Amino acid sequence: MDAKLTLKLNKNVIEKAKQFAKQNNISLSRLIENYLMSITKNNDENQNISPLVKSLTGVIKLEDEDCKK
């Protein structure tokens, strides 16, 4: 079941993410969903993480103030 999620992100990050998604023929929603699934799954040695998802690890860096909001 799909649900809507609203995120507040840096405009430049959003634009770069949109470009990345377009270049990789994937929707921005699916890209973020895949990333969130990959970081919330149990650490299983048999788990296969796509290169696309691996490349997203650590992409977004927030200042401490942003995390508190």
pLDDT at 54: 78
Distance CA 16, CA 13 (A): 5
- Domain assignment present for residue 6? The answer is no
Which domain range does residue 41 map to? 11-68
Asked if pLDDT for residue 66 goes beyond 70, the answer is no
Q: What is the pLDDT of residues 5-63, one digit of tens each?
A: 999 999 999 999 999 999 999 999 999 998 888 888 766 554 677 788 778 777 777 66
pLDDT at 3: 92
CB 11, CB 29: distance < 8 Å: no
- Domain assignment present for residue 35? The answer is yes
What's the total number of domains in the chain? 1
**Sequence-separated contacts (24+) of 21-29 with Cβ below 8 Å:** 24/52, 26/52
pTM over 0.75: no
